[in-house]
Amino acid sequence: MNLSLIPPRVAPPLDEEFRPAVLARRAFQRSVGSEGARLVIGIERNHGELSRIELKIFPESHPDFNANFEYVERIVKFLLWQRGGFKVYIGGSQQVGEYIRKCYTADGARKFDYHFMGDQVYERPFEVILCGVDEVPASFETGKLLGRNLQGHRIGFDLGASDRKVSAVVDGVPVYSEEVIWEPRKHSDPEYHYNEVMKSLKSAASQMPRVDAIGGSSAGIYIDNRPKVASLFRGIPVEQYAEIKNMFLRIRDEMGVPLEVINDGDVTALAGSMSIEDNGILGIALGSSEAAGYVNMEGQITGWLNELAFAPVDYNPNAPIEEWSGDRGCGASYFSQQCVFRLAQKAGIDIPSSLTDAEKLKFVQSLLDLGYGGALKIWQSMGVYLGYGIAHYAEFYDIKHVLILGRCTSGKGGNLLMEGAMNVFESEFPELLKRIEIHLPSEKLRRVGQSIAAASLPVVEQVQA
């Protein structure tokens, strides 16, 4: 890479090659200074919404001009997965614009992103438009209030890749919660998914005299209760995917009550906002993958994708490859059980291959509870990742609180993640100590908080007394 990579002051015990994105970004900005050339990035998504970001880069006459290519590409990549979009405007350097256009083509380095954002998510041709700095359209961001409806007898569910959770909630108070291990990605029959979700819903329904509404969260991109893209359903043949797209509409009709299902990251942020009773919250769930969601300073969901699992946080050219997108250094490899499994090899931990992914995580967590040094280094390393990751996220989000949830935070692991992140703040980003508070909820909320918050999603016009 032509981009300068900065070693962290706090190194992960099991990853000496870690090169945080936030440090590279800040070093680049310092080198460019105030005399750099203007570059404006615009990311357009559905309904005409557009995010506009202005940068300073090296001018074409500068000897370090080539560093602009990696710098801008990594930011474009991050913005696409944070905000979402099918059209990218590059206002300024034509050379930088041509480089981005070449990367984001049907056979370019970012062909996965090109096809995913264009064909699968927005069902529009993906474009990179080169223009002048003042020709990038004005920013147009909208938000919407979401959830917080607690009256009545409700069911909330959270579908993960390793387990699914369901809660029965009466007037905002959980009266029953259940967690079931499953492996949906290994099943190709849509009826399997339908039947398993219905089992959980009926289990929760049996604990209440009636059901007024159902709310759910799930990994993936959901529009109008229909999964546009979801890794949970990766095993479903293309010709049968329409059954999955309509699955939650079918469940709604059969249960006969209002039903809303959205991305699990948004519910993570909602859970945080409801429990902390404040806004400006970034929720991060460290589970089978990384899920994220954001509630802005006005208490609204932004409509951004917030798929930080695919957003780069490590610029090390030898960083681990994310299995789906094929890119390196993405959040899924650092803030999930995938990270635990990756670091377990470096820690000398041999995980039995016969176990499910959920059982593998519990196996390593049991070693942590026993005080095994290798397991301790895994969560210490993840804590360092988290500190630098949050610092990077803070340059793209306006946040006061970060809430961490998910299976990887259970037991001793949660406290180790907190300690590692705070150590990074104290050593490298003392200014963030005044701006951002990191929250680790109670053990119960960590495990079922999303399903409880999800129960509040649907609006019920009239609830029985």
Domain CATH for 433: 3.30.420.40
Contact 232, 220 (CB under 8 A): yes
Average pLDDT (398-427) is 95
Separation between Cα atoms, residue 253 and residue 10, nearest integer Å: 53
The verdict on residue 14 lying in a domain is: no
- Indicate whether 176 and 235 sit together in one domain: yes
Per-residue confidence (pLDDT) for residue 111, from 0 to 100: 97
More confident residue, 150 or 209: 209
The verdict on residue 457 lying in a domain is: no
The verdict on residue 83 lying in a domain is: yes
For 131, the token pair is: 């223009």
- Indicate whether 287 and 248 sit together in one domain: no
Per-residue confidence (pLDDT) for residue 464, from 0 to 100: 67
- Indicate whether 375 and 295 sit together in one domain: yes
The structure's pTM equals 0.86
- Indicate whether 344 and 423 sit together in one domain: yes
Q: Is 103 left (phi over 0), alpha (psi -120 to 50) or beta?
A: alpha
- Indicate whether 320 and 180 sit together in one domain: no
The verdict on residue 23 lying in a domain is: no
Per-residue confidence (pLDDT) for residue 270, from 0 to 100: 86
% of the chain residues with pLDDT over 70: 97
- List CB contacts of 68: < 8 A, sequence separation 6 or more: 39, 57, 58, 93, 95, 96
- Indicate whether 115 and 166 sit together in one domain: no
Query: Domain boundary at 256, 279, 313, which?
Result: 256
The verdict on residue 27 lying in a domain is: no
Count the neighbouring beta carbons within 10 Å of the beta carbon of residue 292: 28
- Indicate whether 252 and 273 sit together in one domain: no
Per-residue confidence (pLDDT) for residue 214, from 0 to 100: 97
pLDDT at 445 over 60: no
Average pLDDT (220-227) is 84
The verdict on residue 7 lying in a domain is: no
- Indicate whether 252 and 272 sit together in one domain: no
More confident residue, 252 or 268: 252
The verdict on residue 6 lying in a domain is: no
- Indicate whether 390 and 412 sit together in one domain: yes
Number of domains forming the structure of the chain = 3
- Indicate whether 278 and 238 sit together in one domain: no
pLDDT tens string 114-161: 999 998 888 899 999 999 999 999 999 987 777 888 899 999 999 988
Query: Domain boundary at 131, 166, 185, which?
Result: 131
pLDDT at 428 over 90: yes
Separation between Cα atoms, residue 170 and residue 167, nearest integer Å: 10
Contact 80, 39 (CB under 8 A): no
- Indicate whether 247 and 287 sit together in one domain: no
- List CB contacts of 350: < 8 A, sequence separation 6 or more: none
pLDDT at 1 over 80: no
Range of the domain at 42: 36-131
The verdict on residue 50 lying in a domain is: yes
Cα Rg of the chain, angstroms: 22
- Indicate whether 372 and 272 sit together in one domain: yes
Query: Domain boundary at 234, 256, 278, which?
Result: 256
